[in-house]
Amino acid sequence: MIRLGTRRSALATAQANHVADRLRANGHEVELVLITTTGDTNRAPLEQIGGTGVFVSALRDALLAGEIDIAVHSLKDLPTAPEAGLTLGAIPQREDPRDVLVARDGLSLGELPTGALVGTGSPRRVAQLEALGMGLELTGIRGNVDTRIAMVTDGKLDAVVLARAGLARLGRLSEVTETLDPIQVLPAPGQGALGIECRDDDDAVLKALAPLEDPAVRVAVTAERQLLATLEAGCTAPVGALAEVVEGEDGPELWLRGALGQEGGVRRLSANGSVDDPRAVGRALAQDLLEQT
């Protein structure tokens, strides 16, 4: 029996069930263990309650205590610093990592009027949306997908910006009014990807997780997360990143785009390099961003 730890939210349990179904299809018995995290109970802005780690610390504690065997995280919530005794046993196939708009009356971003009230709890989104110069009024929000979308349907907000992957996993893509081009808004590092964490000495679980691994996704998110780590930024910092493995003239290549919010706007740069050393690509792009701020 594999005990799978997950947060209690609808999105977290949907993600956990996706992983559980994959494991069951491979012949494993799986039991879901619901765990409440600080990020679930404290509705203050993330940067006030600790930012990085508020959604994962309780799950990691349960792993280290032997109360669960694996934990399923949204990879964008996972701190970039390693946790002693734990490892990412698998990073499965990634959902579309882009952000989306859910707006009143089916409006797109360009159709929102000047002064439209747009909700997001992400400094990364705020920095990039402000840089577009569209005259939007951006306001901080917290809560699950239902809570955020209800702010639009109830007329409290004109629109909210969310991760497309979450709506896809919940079967709610029909409510999206526009998928945002990464040229406008780069997603969070690791957005759309899941990280399945386990104890690093649990060989049986590591073997069970191996078939779920997507090597190209691991390469891409490793570069994105290294960019974030090199910038010494947490998950609430105004950093966007998106990497992909593409076919070059001499074989697969890694391409990485990054955005860093700063006073006066957003700095955007890109880099490419070897799929064999994604951390080097992330470090190099981060250093370029820092040098040009």
For the chain, counts of helices (H) and of strands (E):
10, 13
- Give the closest residue to 23 by CA, choosing from 218, 217, 204, 219: 204
**Catalytic entry in 77, 99, 158, 202:** 77
What is the CA angle 258-263-265, rounded to 5? 50
Q: How remote is the C-alpha of 104 from its chain's centroid?
A: 25
Cα pseudo-dihedral 28, 29, 33, 39, rounded to 10: 20
Bridge partners (DSSP) of residue 273 are 254
- Give the closest residue to 204 by CA, choosing from 15, 85, 28, 46: 28
Contacts 24+ apart (CB under 8 A), 129-133: 129/161, 129/185, 131/261, 131/265, 131/266, 132/184
Using the CB atoms, write b or e for 197-221: b if 16+ within 10 Å.
bbbeebeebbebbeebebebbbbbb
Q: Is 255 exposed, middle or buried (0-12, 13-18, 19+ CB in 10 A)?
A: middle
Catalytic (active site) residue 77: yes
Show which residues are catalytic: 77
